[in-house]
Amino acid sequence: MRMLAGISAALALLLVIYAFEFPPVDSVQRGYRGLAMEENSNPRVDRAKVRANQLPEPAPATDPAGQKASQVYTNLKVLGDMDANEFLRLMTDMTTWVSPDQGCAYCHDENDLAADRPYTKIVSRRMLEMVRYINGSWKTHVADTGVTCWACHRGQPVPASVWYFDAPRTAQGQAGNRAGQNVASAAGGITALPVDPFTPFIKDGKDIRVLSGTALPAGNRASIKQTEWTYSLMMHISKGLGVNCTYCHNSRSFFDWDQSTPQRTTAWYGIRMTRDINTQFLEPLTPQFPANRLGPTGDVAKVNCATCHEGVYKPLYGASMIKDYPILVGPAPARTASAAPAAK
User: Which segments are annotated as binding site?
Assistant: 91, 104, 107-108, 127, 141, 149, 152-153, 234, 245, 248-249, 305, 308-309
Residue 330 near residue 73 (C-beta atoms within 8 A): no
Q: How far apart are CA 175 and CA 17, in angstroms?
A: 33
Residues 6+ apart with CB under 8 A from 254: 245
Residues annotated as binding site for heme?
Answer: 91, 104, 107-108, 127, 141, 149, 152-153, 234, 245, 248-249, 305, 308-309
Cα Rg for the chain, rounded, in angstroms?
23
How big is the chain, counted in residues? 344
Residues 6+ apart with CB under 8 A from 273: 134, 138, 140, 141, 142, 340
Going by C-alpha positions, the residue among 323, 327, 269 that lies closest to residue 142 is: 269
Going by C-alpha positions, the residue among 127, 157, 150, 161 that lies closest to residue 56 is: 150
Residue 202 near residue 304 (C-beta atoms within 8 A): yes
Residue 149 near residue 131 (C-beta atoms within 8 A): yes
Query: SS3 of 323, please?
Result: coil
Q: How far apart are CA 83 and CA 65, in angstroms?
A: 6
Cis peptide before 197 (omega within 30 of 0): no
Residue 300 near residue 282 (C-beta atoms within 8 A): yes
Residues 6+ apart with CB under 8 A from 67: 83, 84
For 97-229, strand residue ranges (E) read none
DSSP 8-state assignment for residue 1: -
